[in-house]
Amino acid sequence: HHWNASTRNRQIAKFFSQRGITVVEIAMPYHFERSRPGSLYADYMLSSNLGRTIQSVRQAVWDGRKLIRWLKSEGYREVSVLGMSLGSWVAGLIAAPDSAVSKASLFLTAGSLADMVWTGRATRSIRDSLEPVIELTDLRRAWGPLNLENYAHNLARPDLELHVVLATRDKVVLPDLSRRLIQKLKAVGVRPNVLELNCGHYSLAMPPYILLAGLSLKRFLSCADK
């Protein structure tokens, strides 16, 4: 799910479960039942506290990898990961080193989390807190472990297939940042399945865009491994 999500992705879960694909939804730190008491939003998951943001994303990745280990122990042979917005960073970081993941679908993603926070409309307050004390170049360095571009070679492993959905009118994760990640992936030999939709970050969740994204994802998950 995305940062500050208030509901789970029940429509997508139902869509795939009705088609014979088991769906397990996982809550990122500080979301849903994991919310910090008294907090109105998931301010500890992504914030101007650089170390805590790294720690939170790392915890989300560990949670995902533990879940995959459990699924494998239960007999599931093929495991795919899907992440949306901030969740796509988590999904990408899970898939990059983990050979148990055969497919990864990243909705509304980019490479540099630092650039996303610096340029995105939804993270303006975080930039306002950071800008007086740190430059973007230093933020990129500090959040280097969270930059999917730094894991391009891992994502290029031959037993992993990638699917990317981006919104061409996105003001939260700017399309240029998404395309920069795609170009980085292509430079190391990845040929991701890319769907570009003429919508914004939040309107992706509405028809017809979510239907188009869902059908594209269904084809990606259903296609035979190369």
* Nearest one of 223, 222, 187 to 19, comparing CA atoms: 222
Residue 152 has pLDDT above 70, yes or no: yes
Pick among 3.40.50.2300, 3.40.50.1820, 3.30.450.90, 3.40.640.10: CATH of 10-222: 3.40.50.1820
**Where does the pLDDT of residue 224 fall: very low under 50, low under 70, confident under 90, or very high at 90 and above?**
low
pLDDT in tens, 18-63: 988 999 999 999 999 999 998 888 999 999 999 999 999 999 999 9
What does the pLDDT look like over 53-95, one tens digit per residue? 999 999 999 999 999 999 999 999 999 999 999 999 999 999 9
Does residue 195 carry a pLDDT above 50? yes
Describe the chain by its helix, strand, coil percentages, rounded to 5. 45, 10, 40
Q: How far apart are CA 29 and CA 36, in angstroms?
A: 9
Cβ–Cβ under 8 Å, residues 55 and 61: no
d(CA 106, CA 88): 5
Q: What is the predicted pLDDT for the residue at 138?
A: 98
For the chain, the structural domain boundaries read: 10-222
